[in-house]
Amino acid sequence: MQNHQKAIIDYLNSLIRTVPDFPKPGIQFKDITPLLKNPEALRLTTELLVSPFRDIQVDAVVGLESRGFLFGTNMAAELHAGFVPVRKPNKLPSDKIFAEYELEYGKDKVEMHSDAIKPGERVVIHDDLIATGGTAAAATELVEKLGGVVVGYSFIIELSFLEGQQKLAQNAPVHSLIVL
């Protein structure tokens, strides 16, 4: 990584607030709201998230509820791609498909509109943070069920010690700005 880019990443990292024991004991919550509030950081984050995908064809950016919507739509607009939301259950109004994934205790579920991706469309999956990778893996399942092709993953923060990348499509590169 160039020194210049490293300095930007360090700057963005300094604007992420770690909140201990939120939403439950033991979780170190990565709060991006200070970064969102800073106009320069907002612009730089979008620019860095988009940069690995500028030279490849992307038809849609799939953003994961809810913080994946914040930069996912910016990224889609910059890449001349569409934006597709993946949502928690019972939020999407039209015909939809779902995928389930394991939590520490029990299961969770995400949904996508059935007409959101056309067969063969090239998709980037984006979220603010990857932890265990369960959510991004479920989104991958949704895209692939509709015949889409995941061409990459994009995260602002990756908690690499949780090894979430292992659950993702193995032939699609993972671009994380801040790897912790």
Which positions are catalytic? 67, 104
Q: Do 140 and 97 form a contact (C-beta atoms < 8 A)?
A: no
- By the rule CB under 6 A, 135 interacts with ligand AMP: yes
Interaction residues for ligand AMP, span 16-35 (CB under 6 A): 27-30
Q: Given the complex with ligand AMP, which of 76 and 80 has the nearer CB atom? A: 76
- By the rule CB under 6 A, 127 interacts with ligand AMP: yes
- By the rule CB under 6 A, 67 interacts with ligand AMP: yes
Nearest residue to 101 (alpha-carbon basis) of 69, 66, 64: 64
- By the rule CB under 6 A, 160 interacts with ligand AMP: no
Q: Given the complex with ligand AMP, which of 63 and 148 has the nearer CB atom? A: 63
Residue 100 Cα distances to 125, 134, 179, angstroms:
17, 9, 26
- By the rule CB under 6 A, 63 interacts with ligand AMP: no
132 class by beta-carbon count within 10 Å (0-12 exposed, 13-18 middle, 19+ buried): middle
